[in-house]
Amino acid sequence: MRFQLTEDQRALRDGVRQLLARRFDREALRAAVRAPGLDRALWRGLGEAGFFALRLPEKDGGVGLGLPEAVLAFEEAGRALLPGPLVATHLAAGTVPGAATGEAVVTAVDGGLVEWLAEADVVRGDAAGAVPLRSVDPLTPLHRVASVSPTEPAAVSPADPVAVLLTAAEQLGTATRACETAVQHARTREQFGQPIGAFQAVKHLCADMLVRAEVARAAVYAAAVTADPADIAAARLLADEAAVRGARDCLQVHGGMGFTWESEVQLLLKRTWVRTHRGGRVTESEETLAAELLS
Amino acid sequence: MDLADTPEEQEFRARLREWLAKALPTLPPKPSPEDWPGRRAYDLGWQRMLYDAGYAGLHWPVDAGGQGATPTQHLIFLEETEKAGAPYVGANFVGLLHAGPTIAAEGTAEQRARWLPPILRGAEVWCQGFSEPDAGSDLAALRTRARRDGDDYVVSGSKIWTSHAEVADWCELLVRTDPEAPKHRGITWLALPMDAPGVTVRPLKTLAGSAEFAEVFLDEVRVPVSGRVGEENDGWRVTMVTLSFERGTAFVGEVVACRRVLGELARTARENGRWDDPVLRRRLGRLNAEFRALWRLTQWNVSEAERTGGVPGVGGSVFKLRYSHARQELYDTAAEVLGPDALDLDRPWTLDRLSSLSYTIAAGTSQIQRNIVAERILGLPKGR
């Protein structure tokens, strides 16, 4: 057993991080909020870097890597808050022409919602009669598929476990960013004559953010190695928790500033909310794990 | 990233399983929890069996009498012994996980020769004399005094929450040798013989009704200077060398045990009809996620220790924080499954539920662990 990143995996993670730092930094994130829309040049850039073709066999023009590498790449995407139907396009590589290279934007119906419908070239699943809703996340346009009852989302399409895992990886990346953002603020923002991070109440919020993220990391990476359905369900629950609670605590640490439109904290929180609606309901993951106890 | 055993690890696991299958049926019956001398004999007997089979001090360095096993082999050992229902380390806990490694790292050749073999052989039991009535989480505030008198230290004061004190032969004792020094300085690490004149042990009853720990009163107790490990006034550093072990792999077997309990809870719930409650089912599902993740985190931390070739780091605090709360949640959920039986002290889960309350306090409270995580991992400023 050697449950640590290999040298190659570290290099891949660092490479994706550098690429995203170049192509989608804080300024680009702000600009995207001001002018929503999918950046096709960036999408093709991701395609050229192999982001979508990562798991496609080399004989089919892909990179030929596995689920652990895809998880690392999606974690970085989640960390950068990269917008777009990344998971759907990645899953379409090799079956939808142009998906692997980033020429095509592919989205999918999931849980009664479709992300980025108007921008997509290809939609997987039945999006007939989809109506736009005013999305809570400024960087994830959403359509609602009218025929779906809110109590039976799974009837539309059973969740692809890989989609669930890659979404968990994005949540993990965002949870890490939330913790880093909160810590950065807590170290520099002064009140009562000292950095607020010296106050135990603030310190403990930050510590809990890190603990949740690290527990989620172990679960997500392990699920990437085993691809076991129960491991994936566990990864999903813990990554959702780390991301959503992490973003909320990050907002709390930022105080009034965190409640403004200008602060990036809202973007963290809203994206984590959107992702919790992917891949079936949370309760389905819980039921999967409960049933596994009896197996 | 790899979760599979290497061929060497496979072989180690197979050999261990084979030995456990033969050895465990030869164990005597388990003594009652109240029978301390019986528990001591039982735990030491198990240690002797491990010693004879070459499994004693698996993770200790070879030059300290250990087996020099890799952290992963140690993990496999803890996993397999728990799965096979082998005895817990019990009364040997402090010797094997704390005092022993401290002496191995900081002791002289004579000290290592005197104390390490009896720990490994299952001949002597150690207890830990760290906490005091006014020095629990603020351990460095300890006040038990030791003054030098010829070749002896003369020790007076009192210790509390001392597990296994009633049956221990030795106590790893922290004393203040320089009252003028800043509080983290001026502390010295001594090996106290528990039968020395002036040592009084008074058992303390826990809220679970058992005498797990004790108060230890020290009245002008003479401890030879030869029993000092490390330099005078350097005891804090000596202690910190090994404290991280306590938070590193100490809970491995327990995580395996918690996963087993979770499966038993699910089966019990199916039998008594509670399984039909979706809220309870989902809670069990969440706990399954929780303990799976804690097991993965353990594997991650152990692999990291192997990679860096060192001591488990502050990652132990991350684990301890989450695990101690998850354990409490597990037994609270057990109470939901059991219904009125949860109030019956003869149900083991009821006692486990009570004892789980100590996990967020012992070995550094959750609040202290959060400070450690915030200051040492996240780099937040120390509070005033």
Q: SS3 letters for A248-290?
A: HHHHHHHHHHHHCCCCCHHHHHHHHHHHHCCCCCHHHHHHHHH
- Which DSSP category does B215 fall into? E
pLDDT digits 0-9 by tens, A149-204: 555 544 445 679 999 999 999 999 999 999 999 999 999 999 999 999 999 999 99
* Rg of chain A in Å (alpha carbons): 19
Considering only CB atoms, which chain B residues are within 8 Å of A231? 292
Determine, for residues B6 and A4 on separate chains, whether the beta-carbon distance falls below 8 Å: no
The whole-angstrom separation of Cα A149 and Cα A152 is 5
CB atoms within 10 A of CB B108: 13
Interface mutation vs chain A, best among B251, B366, B378, B382, most A CBs within 10 Å:
B378
Task: Write down the H helix ranges in chain A.
Answer: 7-23, 26-34, 40-48, 67-80, 86-92, 161-188, 200-226, 229-254, 265-276, 282-293
Interface mutation vs chain A, best among B264, B292, B323, B368, most A CBs within 10 Å:
B292
The pLDDT of residue A154 is 45
Please tell me which of the candidates A217, A218, A290 has its beta carbon nearest to residue B288. A290
CA distance B267 to chain A (A): 6
Decide if B370 touches A, using CB distance below 8 A. yes
Check: complex ipTM more than 0.90: yes
The pLDDT of residue A156 is 45
Determine, for residues A234 and B294 on separate chains, whether the beta-carbon distance falls below 8 Å: no
Structure tokens at B320: 């301890």
Going by C-beta distance under 8 Å and a sequence separation of 6 or more, which residues neighbour residue A246?
Answer: A174, A175, A178, A179, A182, A209, A212, A213, A268, A272
Helix (H) or strand (E) holding B199: strand B199-204
Question: What values do phi and psi take at A111, rounded to 5?
Answer: 60, 35
Determine, for residues A204 and B367 on separate chains, whether the beta-carbon distance falls below 8 Å: yes
| 8 A C-beta contact, residue A242 and residue A216 | yes
Considering only CB atoms, which chain A residues are within 8 Å of B75? 1
The rounded Cα A125 to chain-centroid distance in angstroms is 21
Instruction: Give the three-state DSSP class for A65.
Output: coil
User: How confident is chain B (384 residues) per 10-residue block, as mean pLDDT?
Assistant: 96 98 96 89 97 94 92 93 93 92 94 98 97 90 96 97 94 96 94 98 91 94 97 93 64 91 97 97 98 96 82 77 97 97 93 95 92 94 82
Decide if A238 touches B, using CB distance below 8 A. yes
pTM of the model: 0.95
The pLDDT of residue B308 is 79
Determine, for residues B380 and A197 on separate chains, whether the beta-carbon distance falls below 8 Å: yes
Decide if B6 touches A, using CB distance below 8 A. yes
The pLDDT of residue B211 is 82
Going by C-beta distance under 8 Å and a sequence separation of 6 or more, which residues neighbour residue A43?
Answer: A84, A102, A105
Decide if B3 touches A, using CB distance below 8 A. yes
Please tell me which of the candidates A2, A204, A235 has its beta carbon nearest to residue B370. A204
Nearest to B76 by CA among B264, B316, B298: B298
| 8 A C-beta contact, residue B243 and residue B105 | no
The residue to which tokens 């170290």 are assigned = A187
Residues of B noted as catalytic: 246
pLDDT digits 0-9 by tens, A24-73: 999 999 999 999 899 999 999 999 999 999 999 999 999 999 999 999 99
| 8 A C-beta contact, residue A206 and residue A179 | yes
Instruction: Give the three-state DSSP class for B177.
Output: coil
